[in-house]
Amino acid sequence: MIGFVSGWCGHAVGAPESRAAQCRRVQRPNRALVRVKASADETGGKGSMLPTALPVSTTWEIDFYSRPVVGADGKKLWELIITDKNGNFEHVESVPNSMVNSKELRRRVQAVIDDSPTKPKTLRFFRAQMQNMVKIALSSIEDVVVLPSRRTYSLLEVIEDRETNVYPKMKGYRAISADPFSAMSSSEVRVGEKMPDSLRGEKFAFVTLELGQIRALEPEDVGFGEICPIPQSLPDDLTIPGICVYSVRAGGLAGWLSGSEIAAISALVKQREIFLECGLNTDFLFARISEGLRTEAKAYENQKTETQGLHFLAVQTFPDAEEVAGFWLLRTI
């Protein structure tokens, strides 16, 4: 059982009004989470590393894009970067500009798969501008699902590390003038799509959990959910903000959410709206923030600044339920 610390509940867009509720808090033993991050080849060449601390996930994350390094021919360096969602496998290889095409991308990804003891079942990518090439290249790979997704947390950490520690040391480096993750950023005033009925619960609450409780979760504890990588530097007693959705059809709701590639939940206090960020660039209007929830919504967003963006979504039938139907640890990067 996961026990949340909760305040007053709100109502999802289109949901009927009902009384607010509070959740119980249950103490669970903490368990340390050990992660080993593979170092990438610093020459812009080719390299793969397989640390042995944790098994490599069957969910891989891929980026095929130009980097802020210009070669002697005046053309930008292109790289293929692949990692697994746990950050335990990392492959980086440079690609000649003349070979930037879907056929070459497929050949190189297939070669990595063939050489890996752990084969991927899912390939996630986050760049909207590369969507056509990636889908054309990878859709024919057998037994692999290709998903446009913002749940590429380990991949973004690899890119951020290379932007900071690798590319600036390379000959031909050109400083980045814009946010390297601008493809994932949103405008200040956001317009969300209507939530599908299949993704809508009856009510929700802003809740919290200590990070140690999340680290102690076993796979069977999260239902249809998924836990993103947790920064080692964060202490177990850190309070992680979240939203718990309550629904009499919690199982079905969690099942639908599991196929939506949930990346984050954002509360725009000034706009008085909460958005469920899914897939590559889909933002659903999850709920409107009532006057009574403004303080909690603001605290929810403020807490993210202390957690390096970690937050969560949970789905239960009711506040005192013994189990969650789904629990997703998310991260805004």
Q: Find residue 47's DSSP bridge partners.
A: 92
Give the residue among 276, 246, 244 at the shortest CA–CA distance from 263. Answer: 276
Query: Rounded to an integer, what distance in angstroms lies between the CA atom of residue 84 and that of residue 91?
Result: 9
Of 210 and 20, the one with more pLDDT: 210
Give the residue among 308, 313, 324 at the shortest CA–CA distance from 230. Answer: 308
pLDDT > 80? residue 178 = no
Q: Which of 27-41, 132-146, 152-166, 188-202 has the lowest mean pLDDT?
A: 27-41
Task: Mention every residue, 6+ apart, whose C-beta is less than 8 A from residue 253.
Answer: 198, 199, 200, 201, 245, 247, 315, 325, 326
pLDDT at 114: 96
Backbone torsions φ then ψ of 319, nearest 5 degrees: -55, -35
Residues 265-300: pLDDT tens digits? 999 999 999 999 999 999 999 999 999 999 999 999
Residues 80-89: pLDDT tens digits? 999 999 999 9
Q: Which residue has the tokens 């790979």?
A: 141
Give the residue among 143, 103, 95, 94 at the shortest CA–CA distance from 123. Answer: 143
Q: Which residue has the tokens 């930037």?
A: 100
Query: Rounded to an integer, what distance in angstroms lies between the CA atom of residue 207 and that of residue 198?
Result: 23
